[in-house]
Amino acid sequence: MDDKLMLMIPGPTPVPEQVLLAIAKHPIGHRSGDFSKIIGECNEGLKWLHQTKNEVLTLAASGTGAMEAGIINFLSPGDRVLVGNNGKFGERWGKVAQAYNLNVEIITAEWGQPLDPEKFREKLEADKEKEIKAVILTHSETSTAVINDLETINRHVKAHGEALIIVDAVTSLGATSVPVDEWGLDVVGSGSQKGYMMPPGLGFVAVSPKAWKAYETAKLPRFYFDLGPYRKTAAKNSTPFTPPVNLYFGLQVALKMLKDEGLENIFARHLRLTKATRAAVKALGLGLLAADDVASNAATAVAPTQVEAEEIRTVMKKKFDIALAGGQDHLKGKIFRIGHLGFVSDRDILTCIAAIEATLQELGYESFTPGAGVTAAAKVFAES
């Protein structure tokens, strides 16, 4: 049916009506006092969401742009960096670092597995000359729905003392606690179409005082993504270039909604949605790509063995107007991903699981008890 689409992909995520209506307002001048107030309120809300007193800067860019800004503002050509790669996004940050002629060392883990913090510890401890200038990694790897042990890896970075930690929190921010100040995260990048309950188009970068110190001597070329002018203008509730004013209107409303819900409730909700989804998938006898203890709260990657992942996606879209994400690169056709990030409620999970059950029946998959998925999800909701 037209206009009946239900987004259950890990971005873009569903957007609340009040956010959409705010975005539909007539633009106002970006240098007006009225707009300054909106920027000011957004900046405060972003700090709250990031649990930080540091600046959180907003760019007209996707999350990739925000991460690129987070990398190129604090490093110089030839700088040695460690990049964690256990999926599509970790892989991408390695490519960004290479494009800027950094001395890149990639620490890999198989897609579906988390990065091993020990490998970071070994490299960092062996670096007596303090040549490693940054460790770049993805917190929640969206392509596999695996969460990396950022807390432990960050502890090893802190023990090194010199290296900055640059974190892709694109699908962890607003789903999982990312305590920027408590952990001392230097650079944290994210994008609006994820936990923010917003359409895509805005990128965010949180920057620590230690990173600003590195900025002073960092020599990689940049202009649009030069964070210095963003910092300077943010202090005056302004921006260096024309900001996407309508997206700011939406961000103001979305951040208010998030504040009203409260950080603890937001994180508990995402955890509950994840547990319910995984319990349902297990009850249906479908495989899970990631183990329970490394499951991201943003999405669940399902790896069915007796039925084609792409067939499930096709029927779900065609018959029930539910968009699920496929696998990327070599996981294409092997997994499908259920997004439960952002403006997603318990009811949405019940809906999605019920539709998956109906789809499995349609596809003639017989190794499950009809109703078992919904029942398993309902049990999680009843108990939490």
User: What is the binding site for a second copy (CB under 8 A)?
Assistant: 3, 5, 7, 9, 11-15, 20-21, 23-30, 32, 60-65, 68, 95-96, 99-101, 191, 193, 199-201, 220-226, 241-247, 323, 325
Q: Closest separation between CB of residue 144 and a second copy, Å?
A: 17
Q: Closest separation between CB of residue 158 and a second copy, Å?
A: 28
Q: What is the number of H-type helices and E-type strands within the chain? A: 14, 13
- Give the nearer residue to a second copy in terms of CB position, either 96 or 283: 96
Residue type, 80: R
- Smallest CA-to-CA distance from 192 within 107, 252, 264 is with 252
> How many other C-beta atoms lie within 10 A of the C-beta of residue 103?
15
Instruction: Provide the terminal-to-terminal Cα distance of the chain, rounded to the nearest Å.
Output: 34
Q: Closest separation between CB of residue 9 and a second copy, Å?
A: 5
- Give the nearer residue to a second copy in terms of CB position, either 26 or 128: 26
CA distance linking residue 332 with residue 203, whole number of Å: 27
Residue 378 in tokens: 């309902």
C-alpha distances in Å from residue 255, one per residue of 46, 78, 179, 376: 8, 39, 17, 32
- Give the nearer residue to a second copy in terms of CB position, either 37 or 53: 37
- Give the nearer residue to a second copy in terms of CB position, either 173 or 284: 173
Residue 152 in tokens: 């432990």
Q: Closest separation between CB of residue 117 and a second copy, Å?
A: 27
- Give the nearer residue to a second copy in terms of CB position, either 240 or 373: 240
Residue 287 in tokens: 């495989």
- Give the nearer residue to a second copy in terms of CB position, either 40 or 326: 326
Q: What angle do CA 380, 383, 384 make, to 5 degrees?
A: 85
- Give the nearer residue to a second copy in terms of CB position, either 88 or 379: 88
Q: Closest separation between CB of residue 251 and a second copy, Å?
A: 12
Q: Closest separation between CB of residue 293 and a second copy, Å?
A: 29
CA distance linking residue 154 with residue 115, whole number of Å: 12
Q: Closest separation between CB of residue 237 and a second copy, Å?
A: 17
- Give the nearer residue to a second copy in terms of CB position, either 46 or 376: 46
Q: Closest separation between CB of residue 56 and a second copy, Å?
A: 19
- Smallest CA-to-CA distance from 164 within 186, 179, 149 is with 186
Is the separation of the CB atoms in 56 and 46 below 8 Å? yes
CA distance linking residue 348 with residue 272, whole number of Å: 12
Which value, to the nearest 10 degrees, does the dihedral of the CA atoms of residues 315, 319, 322, 325 take? 20
CA distance linking residue 280 with residue 145, whole number of Å: 16
